């Protein structure tokens, strides 16, 4: 899960704080990230038609501030979703109160929420906590660590990742964190991720880099195929490293993209590994498809098949389910050329079973990380998707009646 945070160097010019304001029964439930100067911002929001109030407000703020933001405020314990006009007012009040405390403009604030859907947000608890929260911000790794805990809901552990690269001979740092365990405890939802960097990047270049980094990380994972109403990924780049501006192409851009991609990849895989009830991370690679798009559709169908995922929970070398899932993905291929390997063991070649030692395969399939490789031998299209196994614990976590 990356190096220990003590060893990581915080990006310059960012401060963090958190508090327990009473939205959760116990523990930290309000977090704040502040950039000392306006930072370029790029965000990816949920594609769900049902969008929580903070998403609507944050999208407005990004437009009004031309992508230059000062802070991100996050509460856990309540998603402020399906909460109507009152929900929008609550997110607005949160941003306005923080802007007053920081002496900046309201539209320079991003607002995020995660937790129960459909219950009114007790925004007065947030508003009461904001002055102290804003006063306590610190550029300390301990503050960042606490922030990563304040945004957790059903996560079993905090998730963060760091990277750096050289621009203009100077080192720039990236530091990110995430919460999300697939979706959801009963009525809990949401993947949230925040990445800060002291690189100097214009908003358009940052948006492009984020779009590219997300394709092979956050958009390539699936736990249960459900999409939350609150998903938010935000990157702030404040330029405090003092290096030259990174443009949306060229060597600087490529180095920055590689670093951003590694942070996104690490966070995305940490989310899968902490998927509700998950025992293992499964990498599904499809090659030899007619197109990348087709390979992606096949990989996602395999990754979301309950039959494949339950077989993986039991370490069952059940390649027949993988082939059957590929066959219903709506993509043309010749099953008689298909080759399937699970955990390095070839089980199917030219669409026919290959003898293998079941016991060895079973043992290998019980590892923490299991690769599945499907080669259709029908083209140059390829895709890679990460998922987790589907266990009785997933059902227990999600079927328990909220009492």
> Which residue, 103 or 401, has its beta carbon nearer to its own copies?
401
For the bound state, the minimum distance from the C-beta of residue 203 to its own copies, rounded and expressed in Å, comes to: 28
> Which residue, 210 or 298, has its beta carbon nearer to its own copies?
298
Residues that bind its own copies (CB under 8 A): 47-50, 81-84, 117-119, 183-184, 186-187, 189, 224-229, 304-307, 310-311, 313-316, 318-321, 323-328, 331-333, 335-336, 348, 351-353, 358, 362, 390-392, 394-396, 398-402
Specify burial of residue 380 (Cβ count, 10 A radius: 0-12, 13-18, 19+).
Answer: exposed
Instruction: Tell me the DSSP string of 322-378.
Output: HHHHHHTSS----GGG-EEEETTEEEEETTEE----HHHHHHHHTSSEEEEEEE-SS
Are the C-beta atoms of residues 372 and 322 closer than 8 Å to each other? Answer: yes
Q: Where are the alpha helices (DSSP H) in 4-139?
A: 53-64, 84-102, 123-135
CA separation for the pair 51, 111 (Å, rounded): 13
Tokens matching residue 92: 């607005």
Q: Where are the beta strands (DSSP E) in 238-368?
A: 281-289, 339-342, 345-349, 352-353
Instruction: Please name which of 302, 301, 298 lies closest in space to residue 312, comparing C-alpha atoms.
Output: 302
Tokens matching residue 69: 């933001």
CA separation for the pair 198, 14 (Å, rounded): 8
For the bound state, the minimum distance from the C-beta of residue 306 to its own copies, rounded and expressed in Å, comes to: 4
- For the chain, the maximum distance between any two Cα atoms, rounded to a whole number of angstroms, is 70
Are the C-beta atoms of residues 282 and 186 closer than 8 Å to each other? Answer: no
Phi, psi of 103 (to 5 degrees): 60, 45
For the bound state, the minimum distance from the C-beta of residue 189 to its own copies, rounded and expressed in Å, comes to: 7
Measured between its terminal Cα atoms, the distance across the chain in Å is 34
Catalytic-role residue among 190, 222, 229, 301:
190
Instruction: Tell me the DSSP string of 285-323.
Output: EEEEESSHHHHHHHHHHHHH-HHHHHHHHTT---HHHHH
- Measured from the Cβ of residue 122, the count of other Cβ atoms closer than 10 Å reads 16
> Which residue, 219 or 398, has its beta carbon nearer to its own copies?
398
CA separation for the pair 88, 144 (Å, rounded): 28
For the bound state, the minimum distance from the C-beta of residue 181 to its own copies, rounded and expressed in Å, comes to: 12
> Which residue, 6 or 49, has its beta carbon nearer to its own copies?
49
190 is catalytic: yes
For the bound state, the minimum distance from the C-beta of residue 348 to its own copies, rounded and expressed in Å, comes to: 7
> Which residue, 193 or 228, has its beta carbon nearer to its own copies?
228
> Which residue, 163 or 281, has its beta carbon nearer to its own copies?
281
For the bound state, the minimum distance from the C-beta of residue 394 to its own copies, rounded and expressed in Å, comes to: 7
For the bound state, the minimum distance from the C-beta of residue 397 to its own copies, rounded and expressed in Å, comes to: 8
Its sign, for the CA torsion 367, 153, 7, 259, is positive
> Which residue, 169 or 330, has its beta carbon nearer to its own copies?
330
CA separation for the pair 77, 213 (Å, rounded): 29
Which residues are known to be catalytic? 190
């Amino acid at each position: 899960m990356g190096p220990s945070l003590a060893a990581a160097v915080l990006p310059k010019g960012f401060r963090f704080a958190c508090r327990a304001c009473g939205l959760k029964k116990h523990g930290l439930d309000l977090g704040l990230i502040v950039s000392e100067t306006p930072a370029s911002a790029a965000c990816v929001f949920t594609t769900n038609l049902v969008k929580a109030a903070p998403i609507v407000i944050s999208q407005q703020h990004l437009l009004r501030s031309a992508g230059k933001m000062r802070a991100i405020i996050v509460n856990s314990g309540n998603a402020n979703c399906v909460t109507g006009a009152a929900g929008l007012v609550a997110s607005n009040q949160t941003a306005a109160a923080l802007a007053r405390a920081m002496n900046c403009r309201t539209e320079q604030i991003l607002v995020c929420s995660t937790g129960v859907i459909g219950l009114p947000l007790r925004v007065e608890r947030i508003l009461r906590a904001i002055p102290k929260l804003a006063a306590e911000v610190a550029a300390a790794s301990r503050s960042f660590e606490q922030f990563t805990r304040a945004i957790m809901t059903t996560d079993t552990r905090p998730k963060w990742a760091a990277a750096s690269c050289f621009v203009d001979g100077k080192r720039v740092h990236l530091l990110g964190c995430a919460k999300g365990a697939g979706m959801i405890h009963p009525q809990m939802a949401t993947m949230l991720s925040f990445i800060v960097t002291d690189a100097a990047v214009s908003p358009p270049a940052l948006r492009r880099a984020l779009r590219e980094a997300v394709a092979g990380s956050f958009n390539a994972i699936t736990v249960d195929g459900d999409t939350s109403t609150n998903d938010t990924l935000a990157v702030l780049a404040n330029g405090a490293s003092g290096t030259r501006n990174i443009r949306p192409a060229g060597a600087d851009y490529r180095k920055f993209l590689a670093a951003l991609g590694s942070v996104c990849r690490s966070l995305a895989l940490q989310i899968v590994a902490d998927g509700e009830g998950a025992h293992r991370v499964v990498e599904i690679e499809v090659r030899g498809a007619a197109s990348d798009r087709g390979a992606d559709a096949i990989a996602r169908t395999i990754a979301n098949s309950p039959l494949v995922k339950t077989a993986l929970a039991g370490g069952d070398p059940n390649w027949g389910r993988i082939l059957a899932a590929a066959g219903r993905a709506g993509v043309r291929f010749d099953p008689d050329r298909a080759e399937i390997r699970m955990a390095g063991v070839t089980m199917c070649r030219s669409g026919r079973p290959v003898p293998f030692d079941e016991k060895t395969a079973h043992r290998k399939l019980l590892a923490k990380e299991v690769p599945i490789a499907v080669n259709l031998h029908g083209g140059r299209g390829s895709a890679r998707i990460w998922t987790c196994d589907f266990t009785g614990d997933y059902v227990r976590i999600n079927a328990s009646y909220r009492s």
